[in-house]
Amino acid sequence: MQAVNGHNLAAVVAQNNDFVTKATAMQNSACFNGASGCQNINAQRTAGDFSAANSEDSREFVAKSSGVHAPANASKNMIWPVLGLLLAASLMGLGPIFVRLSGISAEASAFWRAMLAAPVFLVASQGLALAGYAGRKAAGIDAAHTKTATDARTTTTRKTGLLILAGVLFAADLMFAHLAIGMTTVANAILLNNLAPLFVGCFGLLGLARRPSRRFWQGLPIAMLGAFCLFLASSHGSGSMLGDATAILAAGFYGAYFVVIAKLRQDHSALQIMLWSTIVTAIVLGLYMLVFDGGIGMPAVMGGWLALCGLAFLTHIGGQGMVSVCFKRVDEATGSIILLWQPFMSALLGALVLGEVLNPWHAVGAAFVMVAVAYITVRRRRKAA
């Protein structure tokens, strides 16, 4: 193989040298009536240009023919996104602990989670918008008169209803998820909330999303078996079956939220969707508490406010934001597997911080649920040709 590569490389070099000679001769004949230095300058310039090209072609040919593709750099570039996803999953795993430590109702903790996070999303969105405007202005592009900007405004107007719907669904998911965290074990609440992909498949049967694949039907019985085991764990004194049902209801709203944002991602960025969802969530939950609770609940001690700040800034902004960034550099299969660390992180912290006691049914149910979710959501990798 090396001999063949050397032979081909020599042929490439010889061919380029022959081309250099012909180019030099053409330039010499073109300026034969000019100054005496014209021929030498042109010859040196031409030879220098083709020598550089010759050297680059040679290096490229050697790299390709020897099969070297710099996998080390690729693996190094993958380390940081993978570590980022692990950190994001850990931050999201802290969420249930912050909810418990806040000391307020489920709807109040969900409200403050959105209320404290909304200004950060708003500032980030405006900052990116100003940066984009400055870039277009520097390039001499008037965004107000471009077809792209006009279409974007029309699309945003047409899909405002979907943005509001996404916020309402997100508000329902947060409220019922936080309610489940207060009613059952943290492990059950988070594990059952991870059944959202199953509801996405069910919505596909109704024509609201893509029809579920064969892998969905194969993984569905495993997920149902896992949920049954978690219910058994609650029936043996570790949790509440009503809380488990509430977590499944939250998963249904989260699945519906997935369906809506899948349509919105065609015209909106992840930051725009999170901004709208967070603002609408704060408005919906605030109105709910004013009507049904008579006011917005607030923590009575500073520790409760610190827990809410952690819920908003670490879990909501840090965790979700890092997932959005890292998923641009990590394939879907790898990212989905890494994010399965979140429920295990929550269960571990629930046992260590909150003193929750887990029984063998938790372990069996968690195993079934995680295997089912991974099997359904992770697509098979295509075999390399």
Q: Are residues 220 and 287 in the same domain?
A: yes
Q: Are residues 40 and 172 in the same domain?
A: no
The single-letter code of the amino acid at 128 is L
Q: So what's the pLDDT on residue 262?
A: 82
Q: So what's the pLDDT on residue 218?
A: 84
Going from the C-alpha of 272 to that of each of 122, 127, 128, 261, the distances in angstroms are: 9, 12, 11, 11
The secondary structure element, H or E, covering residue 385 is none
Reported as a single tens digit per residue, the pLDDT across 237-258 is 777 899 999 999 999 999 899 8
Of 12-26, 113-127, 315-329, minimum mean pLDDT range: 12-26
The answer to whether residue 345 is domain-embedded is yes
The answer to whether residue 122 is domain-embedded is no
Q: So what's the pLDDT on residue 285?
A: 95
State the Rg of the chain over Cα.
Answer: 30
The secondary structure element, H or E, covering residue 373 is helix 360-377
CA distance 99 to 108: 10
pLDDT higher than threshold 70 for residue 38 = no
pLDDT higher than threshold 90 for residue 301 = yes
CB 239 within 8 A of CB 186: no
pLDDT higher than threshold 60 for residue 322 = yes
Q: Are residues 308 and 173 in the same domain?
A: yes
pLDDT higher than threshold 90 for residue 22 = no
The answer to whether residue 135 is domain-embedded is no
**Can you tell me the mean pLDDT for 63-71?**
40
The answer to whether residue 98 is domain-embedded is yes
The answer to whether residue 136 is domain-embedded is no
Of 121-125, 149-153, 237-241, 285-289, minimum mean pLDDT range: 149-153
Cα angle, residue 180 at apex, residues 176 and 182 outer, rounded to 5°? 120
As given in the structure block, the two tokens for residue 293 are 């609770």
Percent of the chain's residues with pLDDT above 70: 70
Angle at which helix 214-235 crosses helix 186-193, to 10 degrees, equals 160
Q: Are residues 61 and 36 in the same domain?
A: yes
**Can you tell me the mean pLDDT for 285-295?**
92
Q: Are residues 267 and 290 in the same domain?
A: yes
The answer to whether residue 128 is domain-embedded is no
pLDDT higher than threshold 70 for residue 381 = no
As given in the structure block, the two tokens for residue 89 are 């999953």
Per the listing, tokens 């295509």 go with: 382
Q: Are residues 50 and 84 in the same domain?
A: no
As given in the structure block, the two tokens for residue 298 are 């607030």
Reported as a single tens digit per residue, the pLDDT across 255-268 is 899 889 888 887 78
Per the listing, tokens 């909106």 go with: 268
- Name the more confident of 140 and 12: 140
- Name the more confident of 153 and 12: 153
The answer to whether residue 383 is domain-embedded is no
The answer to whether residue 118 is domain-embedded is no
pLDDT higher than threshold 60 for residue 320 = yes
Cα angle, residue 260 at apex, residues 254 and 264 outer, rounded to 5°? 135
Phi-psi region of 337 (alpha: psi -120 to 50; beta: other; left: phi over 0): alpha
CA distance 52 to 74: 27
CA distance 197 to 319: 19
Per the listing, tokens 């936080």 go with: 178
CA distance 376 to 368: 12
Q: Are residues 22 and 93 in the same domain?
A: no
Q: Are residues 238 and 362 in the same domain?
A: yes
The DSSP 8-state label assigned to residue 232 in this structure reads H
Per the structure, the count of domains in the chain is 2
pLDDT higher than threshold 70 for residue 49 = no
DSSP of 280-309? HHHHHHHHHIIIIISS----SSHHHHHHHH
Q: Are residues 225 and 297 in the same domain?
A: yes
pLDDT higher than threshold 60 for residue 92 = yes
Q: So what's the pLDDT on residue 358?
A: 81
**Can you tell me the mean pLDDT for 134-144?**
53
Range of 318's domain? Answer: 78-112+145-377
Q: Are residues 200 and 238 in the same domain?
A: yes
pLDDT higher than threshold 80 for residue 124 = yes
- Domain boundary (65, 86, 103) is at 65
SS3 category, 159: coil
pLDDT higher than threshold 60 for residue 212 = yes
pTM to 2 decimals? 0.70
**Can you tell me the mean pLDDT for 323-350?**
79
Q: Are residues 172 and 295 in the same domain?
A: yes
Q: Are residues 21 and 89 in the same domain?
A: no
